[in-house]
């Protein structure tokens, strides 16, 4: 009863501050930032609204780790570990390429939101982190919230004794995946083709070669089209081929190339132009029968809305490490599904986000395929992940990724095992330029 | 190093020099501003009415060159804008592109028009431009004989382009607002597989729905702008996805207003190729602009067929602003526009 009364008082005080009376505020800490008239007194007390609904578990610590597999890596993993008073811990990932330091700082900015909070209230904390940040989320804040969100889901699953995909209503099934493979020599491509058949892999994705200016020449367009024809010839007629344009092309250039590659029947063309202008993406889609996929740079379901609403894409590809974690990816998928749009989540960062995305995939009726940003053959990175998790995480069996079937995200991770790869600082992403020195999209 | 003094840049005098090329008859107006402190700035625009000149004098005399953003619109506004920025650059002892936050590139891709009444003439013009360093050519559509054309016209366009392409290089197909929207759509479909850089002014910009038809029917990039004197029309075209390259007229919009249109186009991933059919002072301004914009693509530079006209252009300005090598013009490095204007030549070529 007392807590209820206190909340009402706080609320009245809040409202009063917006008007003329400052009497309630003056009884609290003086407000030093009152110059603009927009700064309310900082909340001096914790929220007691849920005092009677506590699970009994409280967050006691939030740790953030930068993990650099190599000193040059532009995407040191940003891992979030949330500890509780019951000994249950949760892991999440908020890796943001080129901005590791900023995300780590942002996770720390959210400490006050989390310490002493009930980790079970994921949706509530997500809302608070997002709404109470006032400025809404860009990629830095989106990635920080994503890391925290995944860790909270991990905790909730562990506390409830349920794998996250089951919390989401998913079936245990295996998740169809694809690898990255660019055009190679005819021999290399033939070898790869044989390998995919043997391994049951059903899809490969290549990147559009070269960088493109706003308007392009005949020669450049011909080269682009030929490179994709070579993919079809090399990989054969039976495998699904996707091509990532990586926003290297303007809508004007993209629509020419995409029209000419229609006969190749690609599974999709990804990011045919940059992400800020949905109308521009829609224009490309209108000019081609080839499905268009995009979304890896979008933050929150709000950021995906216009794309879906305008029917500008066939396949949505948000990234669980930026879009807002499990909560954000699931919501984006839900609104896409209502419009018949499929999901092929982006995943080019670390293993925790990758595992979290598999959990969401398993619960999506509109799931198409899961990316993993690696070559078909086993790499050093796969081996490091295997050291950490006891299995290589993102290797397909019969063309499909397997889901851990343990509570939460389904793994144990030892902090000490990360210490072998200390944070070597933020490394910017690639910078490329055109012939005249001007900035190019890559 | 002493910081440049930009405290007294009040305009004291505004003069205009209308000039005309002897053979082509192309005319343009060079604008000269002087500050009380003695700095001179040059700009260029099309014909200026005496009323606009008087109004501009009244507005600018006594006002600082650094207030170039607050200029009223008129037939001389584009030229005055260049001249004001020329002064600001000179006062800051740096090229205009550096005043504006550039350079965004180290050279500017160039384009020139190849004119001819028949295929042989056009091919000869391409050869001339190739030897002058150009690698991109603006090719005009054959003059249509009727409002609506059929297959014979499509074949004529195709033949012309095949001949130009056989010389090497890339081309813009320029409709010059000569075609009806229906014909423009058919021509666009005909040339789609030839990959023109873009199809320029395929028809007159009036009812945007007629342009939508062209842009829906093909993927040939469309360029508009040479005759658009209402900036809001660029917004309309961009919003509806009807334009792939915007071409605000440099003499009309000047550097500043072209930058504003470019900023709008950038949010649509659309590039700018300023329209420029004037003289070498505007070419200098175009290069400054090119190095200031992130979404500059190519600059049209007039390259008159007559030797006499080319000589005049070279005489008007000291620096070799119109020299093109391997398809690119190099950036001026001197302060302001980076050129010295020859006032004796301005008098020599003064339009009667």
| CATH code, domain with A281 | 3.20.20.120
Q: Which residue, A162, A190, A221, sits at the end of a domain?
A: A162
pLDDT value at position A363?
93
Distances from the Cα of A118 to the Cα of A160, A361, B218, angstroms: 14, 27, 57
Q: Quick: pLDDT tens for A149-204.
A: 999 999 999 999 999 999 998 987 789 999 999 999 999 999 999 999 999 999 99
DSSP A245: -
Q: Does B298 touch chain A (CB under 8 A)?
A: yes
Give the HSE-up count for residue B341: Cα atoms under 13 Å, Cβ half-sphere.
Answer: 27
A427 touches chain B (CB under 8 A): no
In this prediction, residue B15 carries a pLDDT of: 98
Domain ranges of chain B: 11-98, 107-334
- B71 beta partners: none
Largest CA distance in chain A: 80
CA distance B106 to chain A (A): 5
Distance from CA of B104 to the nearest CA of A (A): 5
Judged by CB atoms within 8 Å, which residues 233-262 of A form the interface with B?
A: 250-253, 255-256, 259
Flag whether A30 is in a domain. Answer: yes
- Domain check: are A134 and A247 in the same one? no
Q: Are residues A241 and A296 in the same domain?
A: yes
pLDDT over threshold 80, residue A277:
yes
What is the mean pLDDT of the segment spanning B216-224? 95
Q: What is the mean pLDDT of chain A?
A: 89
> CA nearest B329 in A: which residue?
A436
The reply to whether A284 and A153 lie within a common domain is no
CA of B101 vs chain A CAs: smallest distance (Å): 13
Interchain contact, A279 vs B104, CB within 8 Å? no
Tokens coding B262: 């470019």
DSSP category for residue B192: G
Q: Provide the H-helix boundaries in A236-379.
A: 251-260, 278-286, 300-309, 325-338, 351-361
Flag whether A421 is in a domain: no
Asked, for residue A223, whether it belongs to a domain, the answer is yes
- Asked if the structure places residue A434 within a domain, the reply is no
Does one domain contain both A206 and A268? yes
Which residues make Cβ contacts (< 8 Å) with residue B9, sequence separation at least 6?
B35, B37, B39, B64, B65, B66, B87, B88, B91
* Selection from B166, B169, B131, B167 nearest residue B325 by Cα: B131
pLDDT of residue A48: 81
* Residue A221, in any domain of the structure: yes
Q: How do A370-371 and A342-343 pair as beta strands?
A: unpaired
CB B80 within 8 A of CB B52: no
For A357-424, what is the HEC assignment?
Answer: HHHHHCCCCCECCEECCCCCCCCHHHHHHHHHHCCCCCCCECCEECCCCCCECCCCCCHHHHCCCCCC
User: Quick one: pLDDT band at residue B2, thresholds 50, 70, 90?
Assistant: low
Helix axes A218-235, A186-199, angle to 10 degrees: 40
A439 in a structural domain: no
Inform me whether the C-beta atom of residue B116 falls under 8 Å from chain A C-beta atoms: no
Identify the CATH number of the domain defined by range B107-334: 3.20.20.120
Q: How many domains does chain A have?
A: 3
Beta bridge partner(s), residue B34: B13, B40
| Active site members of A | 246, 346
Q: What is the pLDDT of residue A1?
A: 36
Task: Tell whether A22 and A139 lie within a shared domain.
Answer: no
Owning domain of residue A4: 1-45
Average pLDDT score over residue span A322-342: 94
Phi, psi for residue B166 in degrees, rounded to 5: -70, -15
Residues A144 and A176 in one domain: no
Q: A410: left (phi > 0), else alpha (psi -120 to 50), else beta?
A: left
Q: What number is the ipTM of this complex?
A: 0.82
So what's the pLDDT on residue B145?
Answer: 87
Q: Are residues A211 and A293 in the same domain?
A: yes
User: In this structure, are A251 and A157 located in the same domain?
Assistant: no
Q: What is the pTM of this model?
A: 0.86
Whether the pLDDT of residue A349 is over 60: the answer is yes
pLDDT tens-digit readout, B121-166: 999 999 999 999 999 999 999 998 888 888 899 999 999 999 999 9
pLDDT band at B3, cuts 50/70/90?
Answer: low
Q: Tell me how far the alpha carbon of residue A138 is from its chain's centroid.
A: 12
pLDDT digits (tens, 9 = 90+) for A9-28: 333 333 333 333 323 333 34
Confidence of residue A359 (pLDDT cuts 50, 70, 90): very high
The answer on A216 and A158 residing in a single domain is no
Question: What's the rounded Cα separation, in Å, for the pair B100 and B98?
Answer: 5
Look at residues A243, A227, A349 and name the one whose alpha carbon lies nearest to residue A290: A243
* A342: in domain: yes
Number of inter-chain CB pairs under 8 A, A vs B = 82
CA distances from A88 to A63, A146, A152, A153, A357 (A): 14, 19, 11, 12, 21
Tokens of B263: 């900023």
pLDDT value, residue A33: 41
**What does the pLDDT look like over A226-249, one tens digit per residue?**
999 999 999 999 999 999 999 999
Please state the length of chain B: 352
Residues of A with CB below 8 A from B170's CB? 217-218
* Neighbour tally for B150: CB within 10 Å: 10
Q: Whole-angstrom Cα distance, residue B200 to residue B210?
A: 15
Interchain proximity B195–A251, CB inside 8 Å = no
Nearest Cα residue to B110 out of B333, B323, B266, B337: B323
Residue ending a domain, among A162, A195, A222, is A162
Residue A432 lies in a domain: no
A218/B170 Cβ within 8 A: yes
Interval A58-75: pLDDT, tens: 999 999 999 999 999 999
How near does any CA of chain B get to the CA of A247, in Å?
11
By CB atoms closer than 10 A (0-12, 13-18, 19+), residue A412 is: exposed
Q: Is A281 on the interface with B (CB under 8 A)?
A: no
Is A215 an 8 Å CB contact of chain B?
yes
Instruction: Say which CATH architecture domain B11-98 belongs to.
Output: 2-Layer Sandwich (3.30)
How far is it, in rounded angstroms, from Cα B130 to Cα B322? 14
Q: How many whole angstroms separate alpha carbon B216 and alpha carbon A255?
A: 11
Residue A4 is predicted with a pLDDT of 38
Residue A112 belongs to a domain with what CATH number? Answer: 3.30.390.10
Question: Mean of the pLDDT values across residues B10-39?
Answer: 97
Among all chains, which residue has been given the structure tokens 């400052």? A22
Query: What is the Cα–Cα distance from B108 to B322, expressed in whole angstroms?
Result: 11
Nearest CA in chain A to B217: A287
A25-53 residue pLDDT tens: 333 443 434 445 444 545 544 678 888 88
Start-end of H helices in B240-306:
250-266, 280-290
Please indicate if any CB of chain A lies within 8 Å of the CB of B57: no
């Amino acid at each position: 009863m007392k807590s209820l009364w206190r909340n009402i008082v706080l609320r009245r005080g809040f409202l009063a501050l917006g008007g003329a009376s400052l009497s309630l505020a003056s009884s609290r800490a003086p407000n030093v930032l009152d110059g603009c008239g927009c700064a309310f007194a900082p909340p001096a007390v914790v929220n007691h609204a849920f005092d009677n609904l506590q699970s009994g578990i409280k967050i006691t610590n939030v740790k953030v780790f930068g993990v650099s597999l190599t000193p040059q890596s532009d995407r040191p993993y940003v891992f979030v570990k949330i500890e509780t008073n019951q000994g249950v811990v949760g892991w999440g990932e908020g890796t943001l390429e080129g901005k590791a330091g900023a995300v780590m700082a942002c996770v720390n900015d959210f400490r006050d939101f989390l310490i002493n909070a009930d980790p079970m209230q994921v949706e509530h904390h997500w809302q608070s982190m997002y709404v109470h940040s006032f400025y809404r989320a860009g990629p830095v804040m989106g990635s920080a919230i994503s890391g925290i969100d995944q860790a909270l889901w991990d905790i909730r699953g562990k506390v409830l004794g349920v794998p996250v995909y089951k919390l989401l209503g998913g079936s245990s099934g295996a998740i169809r995946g694809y690898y990255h493979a660019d055009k190679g020599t005819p021999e290399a491509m033939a070898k790869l083709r044989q390998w995919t058949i043997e391994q049951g892999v059903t899809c490969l994705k290549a990147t559009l070669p070269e960088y493109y200016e706003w308007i392009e020449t005949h020669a450049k367009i011909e080269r682009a089209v030929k490179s994709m024809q070579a993919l079809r010839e090399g990989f054969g007629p039976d495998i699904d081929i996707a091509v990532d344009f990586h926003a290297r092309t303007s809508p004007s250039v993209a629509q020419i190339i995409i029209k000419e590659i229609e006969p190749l029947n690609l599974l999709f063309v990804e990011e045919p132009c940059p992400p800020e202008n949905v109308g521009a993406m829609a224009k490309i889609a209108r000019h081609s029968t080839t499905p268009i996929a995009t979304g890896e740079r979008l933050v929150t379901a709000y950021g995906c809305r216009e794309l879906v609403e305008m029917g500008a894409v066939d396949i949505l590809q948000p990234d669980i490490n930026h879009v807002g974690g499990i909560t954000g990816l699931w919501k984006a998928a839900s609104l896409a599904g209502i419009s018949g749009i499929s999901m092929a989540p982006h995943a080019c960062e670390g293993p925790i986000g990758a595992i979290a995305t598999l959990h969401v995939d398993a619960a999506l009726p509109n799931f198409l395929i899961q990316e993993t940003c690696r070559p078909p053959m086993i790499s050093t990175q796969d081996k490091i992940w295997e050291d950490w998790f006891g299995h290589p995480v993102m290797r397909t069996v019969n063309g499909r990724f397997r889901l851990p079937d343990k509570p939460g995200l389904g793994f144990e991770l030892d902090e000490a095992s990360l210490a072998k790869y200390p944070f070597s600082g933020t490394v910017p992403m690639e910078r490329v330029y055109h012939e005249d020195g001007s900035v190019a999209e890559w | 190093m002493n910081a440049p003094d930009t405290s007294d840049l009040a305009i004291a005098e505004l003069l205009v020099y209308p000039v005309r090329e002897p053979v082509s008859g192309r005319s343009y107006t060079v604008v000269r501003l002087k500050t009380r402190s003695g700095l001179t700035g040059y700009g260029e625009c099309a014909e200026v009415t005496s009323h606009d000149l008087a109004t501009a004098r009244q507005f600018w005399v006594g006002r600082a060159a650094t207030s170039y953003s607050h200029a009223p619109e008129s037939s001389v506004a584009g030229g005055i804008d260049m001249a004001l920025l020329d002064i600001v650059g000179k006062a800051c002892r740096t090229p205009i592109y550096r005043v504006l936050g550039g350079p965004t590139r180290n050279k500017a891709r160039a384009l020139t028009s190849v004119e001819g009444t028949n295929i042989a003439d056009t091919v000869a013009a391409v050869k001339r431009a190739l030897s002058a360093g150009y690698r991109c050519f603006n090719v005009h559509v054959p003059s249509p004989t009727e409002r609506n054309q059929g297959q014979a016209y499509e074949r004529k366009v195709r033949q012309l382009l095949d001949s130009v392409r056989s010389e090497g290089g890339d081309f813009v197909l320029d409709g010059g607002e000569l075609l009806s929207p229906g014909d423009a759509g058919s021509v666009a479909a005909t040339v789609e597989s030839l990959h023109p850089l873009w199809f320029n002014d395929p028809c007159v910009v009036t009812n945007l729905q007629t342009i939508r038809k062209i842009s829906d029917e093909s993927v040939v990039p469309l360029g508009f702008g040479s005759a658009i004197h209402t900036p809001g029309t660029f917004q309309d075209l961009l919003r509806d996805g009807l334009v792939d390259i915007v071409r605000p007229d440099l003499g009309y919009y000047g550097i500043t207003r072209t930058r504003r249109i470019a900023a709008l186009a950038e949010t649509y991933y659309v590039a700018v190729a300023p329209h420029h059919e004037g003289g070498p002072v505007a070419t200098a301004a175009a290069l400054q602009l090119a190095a200031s914009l992130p979404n500059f693509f190519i600059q049209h530079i007039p390259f008159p067929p007559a030797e006499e006209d080319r000589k005049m252009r070279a005489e008007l300005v000291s620096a070799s602003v119109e020299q093109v090598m391997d398809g690119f013009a190099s950036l001026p490095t001197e302060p302001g526009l980076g050129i010295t204007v020859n006032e004796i030549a301005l008098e020599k070529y003064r339009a009667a």
